[in-house]
Structure 1
């Protein structure tokens, strides 16, 4: 979850129709320049945080769990590929439900299916590796339903003025979950040897998902309107001069990196150390740095600084890949992890904020927020599939050429630079163009 703040008061926000919609969906009028977060935004952050805790407890160790049984990078690659593909398809198909019916049910279904995923892994035990692809598809369904609804609700309950703050807090909470949860999981797995430790952490995750599902019922039912246009996103990309012709490839470039790095780094830490507790320690240290960085950047970032912050972040998270060309040890991986933790907020907060501000640039665009959220996820999915596809293609070369994987990581890890180049003209327009916030 892969979002941002301090934006423009556009025509849409000045229109009486939009003000009416905000009043109806949020239960009252809001100051559009206000950077504070309302009660619904806070509750959404709590639900996301619980999802993050449950995912950090167990999700960090699912690739390790499969690896310990299969010792196959390819199997883990296929698990992630199936997860990304089904998640993207779920966004597209569920878009109609979210736009025309009850988007909160989509969010709750995503939380429930996440619990079902870990419960299934729990039941399968060591046989989970045999069913890696179907399990990836199940998790993809869960992620698709949850994040589609989450992103639409996030857009509706935040304003340009508080979007950077929301994303900073979201990153702060995610980092907080990453500090405690994997460390606790690693401690439990190493204390209770073998299958029992994994059984405990998967069970705890299922319980937390259940709590998140219950809390989600306090999120107000969102107003629906309009009809879902299945091909709307495609038409935006095909339209000459439309900003989404550049923004969509920028989002895809972001996905290329995510497709590989989201699972590979934790797995490399475990392979280098052979110890789940070391992986927990890695997550604790890097997440602590990330927490501080997200908190500071979320508070200090303004629209005028977005373009520069994105470039600094993109260059830095690419440069820190260089230590991975050294022998893969815990310390070299930790150097990389600390660099990413420190500089990722510079890149990801402006990137997410700029995209969602573009969705809300005028009344017509805002009325198609579900279609744009689906377009955003489709672009991310394409990027992730390209990244994981490249990983699977390079994998056979790793035995004969030990540097093949580090070179792959450098190439896909440099994709944020391409993302910045593609999207930065629109970040500049949003920050200083004719719709500049007063």
Structure 2
């Protein structure tokens, strides 16, 4: 469930957390850096991102349900996600050189096209897709890695300091709108079409939308090449004494530990508790709407000077939100968990993401290595996600004999954001980062 929500609200995250980022202030552009107008290229990138988000929101929330119904295996779903995360992280690292030195637009197009191919393959395989779950996870991992690496870099290059907030505002509107409406629509289609046929319909629609997005992406111009890719740049940051990335990387990994388990397991638990896809769609609608309001309000009220206290409050409250899951599993207890998490998650995610992107843009030399830093950020998150999934796969065999094993696992991984706060709290408010924001 949270995997779907993360994809749905990714645009909203950008709108609220990248406002202070000024990487483009160090770049030389032909356009007026103070202009607030969005040119055709920016609008086209927004369209491609919007279609990509809609297609993923349409099917991504229900893909774990589809695989579980065919396999009745919690372990298979865990391994599918493990392979997906591992391959996605590896793709980020390998594609970094391609994106920086060759054609980043082809990486973006390949990511969109492979996402469409992924759902087309699932559609063709039907229930036998579980036989090829690991291969499918690898395909989707490559697609995610290629798209998001290229998108993050193109986003920096295609906008100006004067219009970046407007771009992010539109991205946030598209992302949050898709997150609220589309999963609910998917649940309705699956329920009315009585299961298998409904899944075929939503997978087909997703594949078609990806094809349209891939075709539209050819309207995006090839971007200029700047500099050479440094394979060891991330390692150099971690080896340098006093470098803030030595604290940011473990903090991101701690964030990833929680994401690795929660991003797929909560939606699966909602379906198991209700046996109804429409209920899962309703769950997504309610929690996403609450998250939208919470992100909007906290994003407006939170100031850089309050990031440290906001993060620890957010980390403790989203950990405490797991406690209802120790009660007998039901739609009500899961809804209490989902609403509580949606309310308090922005207190943690907004400062964390802002601090990391501030690190990328803290000076001109750092900004020139934006591709390498995006790869380093993803490597940290991926390592944490894999660690969280490994814990899930280790605990899973004991769940039959000890019903409370899964709630205790969720509480344990849910506490990792507190670890992340301890790692990064000294980085918050660094003088050179504050200067970069100004």
TM-score (norm 1): 0.90
Q: Show CA shifts across 1:137-188 (max 9, x none).
A: 0000000001111122233345778777766764553332121111111111
Q: Show CA shifts across 1:245-276 (max 9, x none).
A: 11011111111111111100000000000011
CA 1:150 to 1:164, structure 2 compared with 1: closer, same or farther past 3 Å? same
Distance 1:391 1:137 in 2: 20
Q: CA deviation at 1:42?
A: 5.1
CA 1:210 to 1:432, structure 2 compared with 1: closer, same or farther past 3 Å? closer
* Partner residue, 2:48: 47
Q: CA deviation at 1:189?
A: 0.9
Q: CA deviation at 1:430?
A: 5.5
- Contact kept, 8 Å, 2:362 with 2:433, in 1: the verdict is no
* Partner residue, 1:131: 132
Distance 1:160 1:61 in 2: 38
* Partner residue, 2:384: 383
* Partner residue, 1:84: 85
Distance 1:76 1:168 in 2: 35
CA 1:180 to 1:70, structure 2 compared with 1: closer, same or farther past 3 Å? same
CA 1:211 to 1:349, structure 2 compared with 1: closer, same or farther past 3 Å? farther
Q: CA deviation at 1:429?
A: 1.3
Q: CA deviation at 1:436?
A: 6.2
Structure 1 unaligned runs (5+)? none
- Secondary structure, aligned partner of 1:201: helix
Distance 2:44 2:411 in 1: 38
- Secondary structure, aligned partner of 1:236: helix
Task: Tell whether 2:288 aligns with 1:287.
Answer: yes
Distance 1:159 1:305 in 2: 27
Distance 1:346 1:45 in 2: 26
* Partner residue, 2:4: none
CA 1:103 to 1:274, structure 2 compared with 1: closer, same or farther past 3 Å? same
* Partner residue, 1:176: 177
CA 1:206 to 1:437, structure 2 compared with 1: closer, same or farther past 3 Å? closer
- Secondary structure, aligned partner of 1:49: helix
- Secondary structure, aligned partner of 2:310: helix
* Partner residue, 2:32: 29
Between 418-427 and 248-257, the greater mean CA deviation after superposition:
418-427
TM-score (norm 2): 0.90
CA 1:179 to 1:424, structure 2 compared with 1: closer, same or farther past 3 Å? same
- Secondary structure, aligned partner of 1:400: coil
* Partner residue, 1:307: 308
Between 378-387 and 145-154, the greater mean CA deviation after superposition:
145-154
CA 1:305 to 1:217, structure 2 compared with 1: closer, same or farther past 3 Å? farther
CA 1:133 to 1:49, structure 2 compared with 1: closer, same or farther past 3 Å? same
Structure 2 unaligned runs (5+)? 1-6
Between 52-61 and 419-428, the greater mean CA deviation after superposition:
419-428
Q: CA deviation at 1:214?
A: 2.8
Q: How many residues align?
A: 424
- Contact kept, 8 Å, 1:7 with 1:303, in 2: the verdict is no
